[in-house]
Structure 1
Amino acid sequence: MQHGITLEDIYNFDETGFAMGLVATAKVVTRAEMLGRPFLIQPGNREWVTSIECINSTGWVLPPCIIFKGKVHIEGWYQDMALPADWRIEASGAVGTLLVDALLASSFTVSVVLRPSSKATFPASVTVHRANYDDLEALTTAFQGQDAVISAVGTFDAAIQRTAIDAAAAVPSVRRFIPSEYGGDTSQPGPVSFARFPQAKREIVEYLDSKEGITWTAICTGSFINWLLELENAAMGWDLSARKVSIFDSGNRPFVVSTLGQVTRAIISVLQHEEETKNAYVYVKSFEVTQTQLLGLIERLSGTKFEVKHLTTEEIAQRGVDHLEEGDYEHGYPEVVTAVAYGPWGFLGFGEQAEKWNGVLDLPKEDLEETVRDILKKKGLLKE
């Protein structure tokens, strides 16, 4: 009751996400974009809701917590919430964590800027600064003596990089700023009419380009194949655990994907090829594949036929736009990203450019079958 949540708001969920025990219409706290406002849930709805008290199968009460289960949750959604002092919102980013390890392994001196509330930990050799990302003075202090600033903010938080850019441009030692791209070719104007995030990222690059005394590199990597296939929420059409896949359009349009390892190698190589990558979009890849090719490989290695549903990118784009207009970001954002990725606009269709840049950056060739095999093994789906 401490936070104004009554017994009627408490639902018991089994591992499938179905409500157990209490079956009635009730208002519960759910979905991040509603910022704590109640949501009317009906009997039989498959909704993931706030979990205040968790009891495991042997009856032990777990520490009170809030578990967010969804296709996308953006840290920025929570910044204006009047949270009690004993509540904490944390984000975790695979790119940032892996990148720090890779930079240290390559003998770089690394400093990290974290929000004051973050409990992330790093090796003792990493200097950690605490600063809000809109605190110009604190960021300017943190960047002193650094040669480069690498941003790893989330896809939908691109705009918050402006203050960091101002700070970096004000520090004489900083020569390079790498904005948070690590995805599709945001220089392409095609999808912007229904997807806002490419435009936001492109505006950040334009803002960087307007700054004197600092250079930039925008690194386009395609989709992360690890996330594409490993996530449990049918991200971009793939739900390996359920043996289901949605194929968009013909399924034969090539698109670029990269492993997380290749992404970190590309970032490090950009720092080592300063002149070649100055003020440029750089395109890298692990593989260029089609949905049909990827499905065939997965079915062969798993020994399982998948249930296939066919959709068009126009359909999924409109569905995403409709959900966003309704305030349903959990579904809307992934749907719009899916449409942009698989559509005819060239967002992930830079395989030829990536081949050239892979050579410039001396990136290794990777094996698609071996990569997919490792993912299937991790998920317990590899055929014996």
Structure 2
Amino acid sequence: MAEEKSRILIIGATGKLGHYLVNASLASGHPTFALVRETSSSEPQKAQLLHSLANAGVKLIHGSLQDLESLVKAIKQVEIVICAIPSKNVLDQKLLIQAIKEAGCIKRFIPSEFGADPDKAQIPDLDYGFYAKKSEIRRVIEKEGIPYTYISCNFFTRYLLPSLAQPGLNTPPRDRVKIFGDGNTKAVFVEESDVATFTICTVDDPRTLNKVLYLRPPGNVCSMNELVEIWEMKIAKKLEKVYISEEQLLKSIKETPFPSNSEMIFIYSAFIKGDHTYFDIEPSGINGTELYPHVKYTTISEYLDTHL
């Protein structure tokens, strides 16, 4: 008899990543639940989205990250909790962790990370606590002894890649391009729907228990020089290259108010400090693309084809 699939609760199901997580969970045959706020039904766009989730077979549970009782009640119906709330709200997971501890039935918690490994980031004085808050949540999870998997997928392809990492642009440049640093430091981009697929693969996998799942798919690990080269081949044209030194970039970051400087901060983190790739995967981590070779993912080159 086939083993029964774990019941999964997704928090943030109406967000972009949350929606992909729901789809991946359903596609894998998991009974899928979504936590929804009572007020969501009064927002027309959200109400429509929730209606389509319910039609697809998702069980909607009312609850809020600010209400312990509703969280415990929701969590007691499942074995897996995946949180996909926006980064600015990550500390809201503290009550969720308390609820998971109280419910006592959760086999795996996947917190809202889905970016660079916060414990490896080397820009603590620049990121306005972005990574520190995620690390803080990790420490609470570990202190409470809650079984976890952390997903470190680095950049989503929709972030920075559509502009070829050119702050302020929405499409790849056709004439001149800024190269930050020497252009040789590699960053990682993964399509959100692929991140969701990899994430769902981990939920019942003992190999990913209490580990960081790193996504560095071949074809998706690229330096700025390589990105520009891929784009030049696609448009059959050489771009004029303007090199921006680390000092110049830092000066721009400091002179630009937050959050207008956030793209530059993440470019500095990934393409100058190498926060996605400067370290080898340690025993506390595991390589997602090696672990799940069956997952077909979109490469950077394929993604850029959509911008031609």
Q: In the TM superposition, what whole-angstrom CA distance separates every residue of 1:167-215 from its partner, at most 9, and x where no partner exists?
A: 1121122121101111112111521122221111111101110113x21
Shift of 1:166: 1.2
Between 308-317 and 215-224, the greater mean CA deviation after superposition: 308-317
CA RMSD of aligned residues (A): 2.9
Q: 1:229 to 1:143 in 2, by over 3 A?
A: same
How high is the sequence identity, in percent, across the aligned residues?
22
Asked if 2 retains the 8 angstrom alpha-carbon contact of 1:145 and 1:174, the reply is no
Aligned residue in 2 for 1:252: 184
Matching residue's letter, 1:277: T
What is the rounded CA distance, in whole Å, between the counterparts of 1:203 and 1:357 in structure 2? 24
Gaps of 5+ in 1: 1-89
What is the rounded CA distance, in whole Å, between the counterparts of 1:144 and 1:235 in structure 2? 45
Q: Mapping of 1:82-121 within 5 angstroms?
A: 93-118=15-40, 119=46, 120-121=49-50
Asked if 2 retains the 8 angstrom alpha-carbon contact of 1:194 and 1:317, the reply is no
Gaps of 5+ in 2: 1-11, 41-45
Does 2:277 match 1:349?
yes
Asked if 1 retains the 8 angstrom alpha-carbon contact of 2:38 and 2:63, the reply is yes
Aligned residue in 1 for 2:132: 199
Q: 1:308 to 1:335 in 2, by over 3 A?
A: same
Shift of 1:288: 1.4
- After TM superposition, the score normalised by the length of structure 2 is 0.80
Q: 1:289 to 1:233 in 2, by over 3 A?
A: closer
Q: 1:243 to 1:258 in 2, by over 3 A?
A: farther
- After TM superposition, the score normalised by the length of structure 1 is 0.65
Does 2:259 match 1:359?
no
Q: Which has the higher helix share?
A: 2
What is the rounded CA distance, in whole Å, between the counterparts of 1:91 and 1:103 in structure 2? 11
Does 2:72 match 1:140?
yes
Q: In the TM superposition, what whole-angstrom CA distance separates every residue of 1:230-288 from its partner, at most 9, and x where no partner exists?
A: 36994597741665533210111122221223211210111131x22222222112221
What is the rounded CA distance, in whole Å, between the counterparts of 2:271 and 2:39 in structure 1? 37
Paired residue secondary structure (1:167): helix
Matching residue's letter, 1:290: S
Aligned residue in 2 for 1:131: 63
Which residue of 256, 265, 280 corresponds with 1:336?
A: 265
Matching residue's letter, 2:90: A
Asked if 2 retains the 8 angstrom alpha-carbon contact of 1:243 and 1:306, the reply is yes
Shift of 1:92: 6.1
Shift of 1:307: 4.7
Which structure has the greater CA radius of gyration?
1
What is the rounded CA distance, in whole Å, between the counterparts of 1:375 and 1:117 in structure 2? 38
Between 175-184 and 346-355, the greater mean CA deviation after superposition: 346-355
Aligned residue in 2 for 1:284: 215
Query: How many residue pairs were aligned?
Result: 281
